[in-house]
Amino acid sequence: MPVSTTSAAIANTIVRRRTFAIISHPDAGKTTLTEKLLLYGGAIHLAGSVKARRAQRHATSDWMALEQERGISVTSSVMQFNWEGFHINLLDTPGHEDFSEDTYRTLVAADSAMMLLDNRKGVEDRTRQLFQVCKRRRMPIFALVNKCDRAGEDPLKLVSDVETDLGINCHPVTWPIHRDGAFVGVYDRRKEQIYLFDRSDDHGAKRATGHEGRLDSPEIIELLGPEAHQTLLHDLELLEAAGHPFDHDEILSGALVPVFFGSALTNFGVEPFFREFLELAPSPTSRESTIGPVEPTQEEFTGFVFKIQANMDPKHRDRIAFVRVCSGRFEAGMPSLHVRTGKTVRLNAPQQFMARERTIIEEAWPGDVIGIMDRGNLRIGDSLTEGEKLEFSDIPRFPPEHFARVVLKDPIKRKQLDAGLRQLTEEGAAQVFYTSQSDVSQPTPIVGAVGVLQFDVMLHRLEHEYGVRCKLEPISARYPRWVTGAVADIDRLAAEPGRLRIFDSLGNPVILFESEWAQRWTVDRVKALEFHEVAP
């Protein structure tokens, strides 16, 4: 029997859906937390520690070979699973700022974010950047202070520092409990429940066990000890007197950040955090478009592409377009308008993900992230719709900050090089330029990237996915501006010293300046031309 697609039926389907991203500064424990959420959600049965990963076991979310070799996340990944009635779309993002583009685009596909903080360092540069991105979108943020198994900042001071640094109010939902200097549990202020955890020798590979009870439970007081119990009571009194009150509406509007404490390494505090998050986080929300807000309960299917990834399966030259479903019911093989081209396409063989592993699905609902097999037709930012023509906004684009010439070690591999660079460009992992506008197959390609580490990823993927070995020669000019206007004026500008004219893959002229000062001076003084930060 076919499923009804009335607004009421859609609303009933999505109320238990949660689509969220995890953001943090590098080394705050994001990949470890991701594994533990999968562990508690039943998606994996044994979590790998850092030591185990070095012994050839790697994080579930780190599927790319380079990630496994270096122990870092260089691309976002999608993990979908069910837990206690919730359908979860977990979007893991790269922590390193050199991969900001991938992270920012992934945040556009999320409805909320988990912000991970180191209990010694609090808010760090990368955390600050990503918080501002979420704040501009009024995205609900849930903060987890991680690594509480080791000595860190005083929790009260840490919460105060977060409020001052980020300019936002915080409400601690769980509070750390210490006994004899050791982190032994958390108190959930909303549920008025204490969770004490047993220490184990499995290095957090399995779910934490322990005891739970009320604040005045004789058994809990005995387990905790009178001194630790009194310290906890004192802390809770301070929080009640000086802290910001809990307000769910303010959390959903992004005005109040709920704070939790735990240790992803030992699993202490992870399950209470996850349960509270799933209760408090929003289900799929409306999306802004060129025709106004699109409500998730709208009956016609709509969605947008926020990520392209090729060669997830090294045995096949596959290419997956990641689509966030915004409204309606998606059905395998359904016709959909590809808004950019104006063509009707059939979205066949949709898939859901557990990082690299994929499962064919027949339907999807608002909030879900699906993978569509693509032959090069879809691009990042493309909108798909079953009904009225529309385009979704807020898909960010970034100008490169570093440029280098690609020197091919074996000239006979030029076709493979062009194919690899074209794919990396369409993924948003690189931008490719040429010194000639008329014939891009002959000049030495120039690649541009937001971060230097992206160059390492390019070289690795070109060699291992396309069989192309090459090296990069950095270019001193690194301040780009796309330029439009009369050809003669552009020629005159390009001939001046300290400037290099190149062309993007579509033939649009770009001027590279050797200094930021020269760039600003030119943009301010040359009125005959128009300058753009990204391709117009």
Give the global pTM: 0.83
Q: Which candidate, 11, 4, 24, places its Cα nearest to that of 283?
A: 11
Per-residue pLDDT of the chain (536 residues; tens, 9 = 90+): 344 468 888 999 999 999 999 988 888 888 889 888 888 877 775 555 333 333 333 444 444 455 455 544 545 678 888 888 999 999 987 655 656 677 888 889 999 999 999 999 999 888 888 888 888 889 999 999 999 999 989 999 999 999 999 999 999 999 999 998 899 999 999 999 999 998 877 667 788 888 999 999 999 999 999 999 999 999 999 999 888 999 999 999 999 999 999 999 999 999 999 999 999 999 999 999 999 999 999 999 999 999 888 776 656 567 889 999 999 999 999 999 999 999 999 988 888 877 567 889 999 999 999 999 888 889 889 999 998 999 997 777 778 889 999 999 998 999 999 988 988 888 777 889 998 876 555 678 999 988 888 888 889 889 988 899 999 999 988 899 999 999 999 999 999 998 999 999 888 999 999 999 999 999 999 999 999 998 88
* Three-state DSSP class for residue 302: strand
Q: CATH classification of 402-532, choosing from 1.20.58.100, 3.30.70.3280, 3.30.1540.10, 3.40.640.10? A: 3.30.70.3280
Instruction: Give domain limits for the chain.
Output: 1-15+283-396, 17-73+97-280, 402-532
Q: Which CATH class is domain 17-73+97-280?
A: alpha beta
Closest CA to 87 of 162, 17, 159: 17
Residues 6 or more apart in contact with residue 409 via CB below 8 angstroms: 469, 470, 471
The residues, ordered by sequence, that sit 6+ positions from 12 with a Cβ below 8 Å of its Cβ are: none
Helix (H) / strand (E) containing 331: strand 330-331
CATH topology assigned to domain 1-15+283-396: Rossmann fold (3.40.50)
- Provide φ and ψ at 256, rounded to 5°: -135, 130
Same fold, 17-73+97-280 and 402-532: no
Strands of the 479-484 sheet, one edge to the other: 470-474, 402-408, 446-449, 431-434, 499-504, 509-513, 479-484, 530-532
Question: How far is C-alpha 484 from the chain's CA centre?
Answer: 33
Task: Please state, as a whole number, how many other Cβ atoms lie within 10 Å of the Cβ of residue 329.
Answer: 22
Please choose, from the candidates 393, 387, 355, the residue with its C-alpha nearest in 3D space to the C-alpha of residue 371.
Answer: 355
